[in-house]
Amino acid sequence: MAVGRYMERQRVWEWLALGNFLLGGAGGGLYIVALPVQASGLNLLSQLSAALVVAGLLCVMAEAGRPSRAVGVVRNIKTSWMSREALFASGFILFTALDTLILPSMTLKTLAWASALGYVVCQSFMPAAAKKIPAWNTPATAPLFIALSIAAGAGITGLASPAANQLHMINTALAASVLAVGASYATWPGATEYFRQALKREGNVIYLAGGLLITALAAAPAMLFSNQTAGLLLITGTSVVKYTIIIRMSYKLPVLPPLEALR
């Protein structure tokens, strides 16, 4: 079925949406990694993490066009991953602010960590729920985006706190996870012709493979790459993968394919 000629990209989620996935995802991932490894300057990293999440939310507000639309997002907690994302993001920002600015507490840190994880998970399920975008609506999309966000957060942790305990082991595990889930995403057996076309068009498969390869390099032995170098690799590779899927592969299903496509 010749579908490639009739596919066009969606125009609802574009660069501002990518900004949310990059900034917000990395912000949530930063806290998820920095707290367990007790990274040096944890207080500042916590504030940076919250700032990145806020920046992501501002991208969402700008994408919505009017603040009232963004406020309306929180009304659909039961059915909308975007609403759940906003809820967990608000909790994370609140708990982080209380912990870093008012009353440092392990209880608040634990609540902030759980909120950051919930935020990253909900954000990752947002594109997976887009049924009309074949490259987003796959079983591997959410796990891939979760791994990408946490890996990006580990990358920032490595840049800011290169001597953090066990960070290299975490980088290796995350890089391997991104590579494994990314490969599953690209080769999943239930792929439709529309998904395969999105992957093949305009060299998208090269971009995707390149991003995965850059990320995978962070798993190299510690004697080859420092935590800072591995951090740069993680941030760069994960950003390329998210850019490829959110921007380059965002072809939508045709409402009514031309008859020629069915011949």
Ordered structural domains, the chain, with CATH: 4-254 (1.20.1630.10)
> Is the pLDDT assigned to residue 245 strictly greater than 70?
yes
Distances (CA, A) of 14 to 10, 148, 195: 8, 19, 19
Helices assigned H by DSSP within the chain: 15-19, 25-34, 42-64, 67-72, 81-97, 106-128, 141-160, 167-187, 193-200, 204-216, 227-243
Specify the 3-state DSSP secondary structure of 200.
Answer: helix
Q: What is the model's pLDDT at position 165? A: 72
Residue 154 and residue 174 in contact, taking contact as beta carbons nearer than 8 Å: yes
Mean pLDDT of 221-232: 86
Tens digits of residue pLDDT in 148-205: 999 999 999 999 988 777 888 999 999 999 999 999 999 988 888 899 999 999 999 9
Q: Is 212 buried (19+), middle (13-18) or exposed (0-12) by CB count in 10 A?
A: buried
**pTM confidence score:** 0.91
Q: What is the model's pLDDT at position 3? A: 54
> Is the pLDDT assigned to residue 49 strictly greater than 60?
yes
**What does pLDDT average to over the chain?**
90
Most confident of 6-10, 35-39, 95-99, 196-200: 95-99
Two structure tokens written together for 149: 């966000």
Two structure tokens written together for 221: 């032995």
In this structure, what are the phi and psi dihedrals at residue 53, rounded to the nearest 5 degrees? -65, -40
Q: pLDDT grade, residue 260 (50/70/90)?
A: low
Q: pLDDT grade, residue 6 (50/70/90)?
A: low
> Is the pLDDT assigned to residue 104 strictly greater than 80?
yes
Instruction: For residues 11 and 15, give the distance between their C-alpha atoms in angstroms, rounded to a whole number.
Output: 10
Q: What is the model's pLDDT at position 70? A: 52
- The residue written with tokens 């995707």 in the block is 208
